[in-house]
Structures are given as C-alpha cells and as structure tokens.
A and B are shown apart, each in its own frame.
Chain A
Amino acid sequence: NAGVTQTPKFQVLKTGQSMTLQCAQDMNHNSMYWYQQDPGMGLRLIYYSASEGTTDKGEVPNGYNVSRLNKREFSLRLESAAPSQTSVYFCASSLGRRRDTQYFGPGTRLTVL
C-alpha cells in the first residue's frame, strides 16, 4: 500500500509557465483534496472532490484548476504560474464521511521565479 502519492516532488517554473501536479491514492477513498502550505499559514484548502465526478472550490482556488480523473487520481493545474504560487502543495484523501480523517501525500515543493 503506497497510500497517497504525489508527483513531482520538486518543481521550478518561470512566471507564466503551466504545469500539472499529480496525485493518486490506493485506499479506495471517495474524497480527495488539494492544500497549499506556506510557513506560518497552516493548510489552506484549494479545491476538493467529495466523490468521483465532482469538484468544489476551497478557500484559495484562484489561479488553479482541478480534474478528478477517476476515483484514484486528482490533479491540480496551474495555467499561468505566478511567484505568489511558490508554496508546498499537499494532496490528501479520505473516506468522505462525518467522522473522517485525512491521509496526506508527501507534498510537492513548487518555486515560481
């Protein structure tokens, strides 16, 4: 069991470039999430997918798009990267029920120059 995997682990982009962060889980979870973490800011929810076929905005969705490709995979796309998007991005998954806990991936460290 790999749990939640994310690719790439590190990425450097120039302003205006685009990229897609990949996330996959093998726990048969219904819900998946993308978080942004900056020093001293905690985890901020970007987008989430409550179940396959649905996606919803979180706290900080501007500048991002997501795709729930299937039950296992949830990708995050930056169409035109900006320096303000330099951050660590975590993907998480959960069963999607009331007394729920989230399982996190190892993160992607993104730098936008």
Chain B
Amino acid sequence: QKEVEQDPGPLSVPEGAIVSLNCTYSNSAFQYFMWYRQYSRKGPELLMYTYSSGNKEDGRFTAQVDKSSKYISLFIRDSQPSDSATYLCAMSAMGGSYIPTFGRGTSLIVHP
C-alpha cells in the first residue's frame, strides 16, 4: 500500500459544480498537507497549504484535513473550465525528511 492514495479519475463535472478531490494516507506523522495543480504539459504549482487539522479557504478553494481519519480534501466551488487540470496532494512529516510524499494526482475536467 502506498503511503498516499489518490484516485486518478478522470473526474468530469459541468461548469458551476462543486468539486471534491480527496486523498487518504497511512503515515500518522504527516503534519503538512499541500495541494498542487498541474495543467497539461506544465509543471505542478502550489495551490493550497495547510498545517495539521482543520479547514483553509482561499477564494473558491477550500482545503480540509481530518487527521483522525487520515483523509484530506480539496473543494472547488463554482468550478470553471479553467480549473481543468490534474490535482496532486502532497504531505510531509514533522520529523524525519521534509521532502513531501505525493499522491498520483486526480485529473479534473470541467466542461462548459
């Protein structure tokens, strides 16, 4: 079992829908949780960053961490065709290596 599991999709939704992207993990030491967005033929770019549990909101994006369930989510409200991309979750631990462990990424398609 990989440390970080993420459904590769693709997830296809109509414009305006609320999108929920998720990752599960097995390492209880993970404390830092990140979401990267990767457009086709581009490098990943950081979208959201959260520490420990709770929610963080940035515009149409909300990142949620549930450490008791070892489950993180990224919600996108009022999704737009420009949100079509691959979303990768990443996480790292308080101790040990600071290098993040990435999920495989979920491909999101928002159609007009």
Secondary structure at chain A's binding surface: helix, strand, loop or mixed?
A: loop
Task: Report the minimal beta-carbon distance from B64 to chain A, rounded to whole angstroms.
Answer: 19
Instruction: Compute how far the CA of A58 lies from the CA of B97 in the bound complex, rounded to whole angstroms.
Output: 11
Q: B102 to chain A: which residues have CB within 8 Å?
A: 42-43
Asked if B88 is an interface residue, CB under 8 A from chain A, the answer is yes
Q: A97 to chain B: which residues have CB within 8 Å?
A: 98
Interface residue tally for chain A (C-beta within 8 Å): 23
- Which residue of B51, B94, B100, B104 contacts A102 across the interface (Cβ within 8 Å)? B100
Q: B49 to chain A: which residues have CB within 8 Å?
A: 101
Contact A98 B44 (CB under 8 A): no
Q: A107 to chain B: which residues have CB within 8 Å?
A: 41-43
Indicate whether A48 sits within 8 Å of B99 (C-beta atoms), given known contacts A101-B34, A107-B41: yes
- Which residue of A41, A45, A58, A104 contacts B44 across the interface (Cβ within 8 Å)? A104
Instruction: Compute how far the CA of A96 lies from the CA of B97 in the bound complex, rounded to whole angstroms.
Output: 10
Query: Hey, what's the 0/1 contact readout for B62-81 against A, CB within 8 Å counting as 1?
Result: 00000000000000000000
Asked if A33 is an interface residue, CB under 8 A from chain B, the answer is yes
Q: B88 to chain A: which residues have CB within 8 Å?
A: 42-43
Instruction: Compute how far the CA of A91 lies from the CA of B34 in the bound complex, rounded to whole angstroms.
Output: 18
Within A78-97, which residues are at the interface with B (CB < 8 Å)?
90, 92, 96-97
Instruction: Compute how far the CA of A104 lies from the CA of B86 in the bound complex, rounded to whole angstroms.
Output: 15
Contact residues of B with A, CB < 8 Å? 6, 8, 32, 34, 41-46, 49, 51, 88, 92, 94, 98-100, 102-105
Knowing that A100-B100, A101-B49 are A-B contacts, what are 11 other residue pairs whose CB atoms are under 8 Å apart, sorted by A's residue number? A41-B104, A43-B102, A48-B99, A98-B98, A102-B44, A102-B46, A103-B46, A104-B44, A106-B43, A107-B42, A107-B43
7 smallest beta-carbon distances between A and B, as pairs: A104-B43, A42-B104, A43-B102, A101-B46, A104-B44, A42-B102, A40-B8
